[in-house]
Amino acid sequence: DLLALCRAAGQLVTSGHIVSGGSTLSMQLARLIEPRDNRSLGSKLKQMLRAIQIERRLSKQEILERYLTLAPYGGNLEGVRAASLAY
């Protein structure tokens, strides 16, 4: 989401610290699959490219399922049971 990334970058420049993020769910999934060593522009670009690959290969439903399976929920809790995703 280019608009969200530009907004977040503008907030960083004007405030001097991170105010909000601009990552899409696909980018967050990419980060969970391949954790970055540091927070750099290069790492963010790699995450963006990986998110594009994810979106080309998976449906929105599959992206959401994989994100919910890997996302941390505080403490030692991770993921949501697949049965709870049924409509």
pLDDT given at position 83: 46
The answer to whether residues 20 and 32 touch, using CB atoms and an 8 Å cutoff, is no
pLDDT digits (tens, 9 = 90+) for 40-50: 878 888 888 99
For residue 6, what are the contacts with CB-CB under 8 A and spacing of at least 6?
22
Cα–Cα distance measured from residue 15 to residue 24, given in angstroms and rounded to the nearest whole number: 22
Residue ranges per structural domain of the chain: 24-85
Cα–Cα distance measured from residue 76 to residue 67, given in angstroms and rounded to the nearest whole number: 16
pTM: 0.68
Cα–Cα distance measured from residue 34 to residue 47, given in angstroms and rounded to the nearest whole number: 8
pLDDT given at position 76: 66
pLDDT digits (tens, 9 = 90+) for 48-70: 899 999 999 999 999 999 998 88
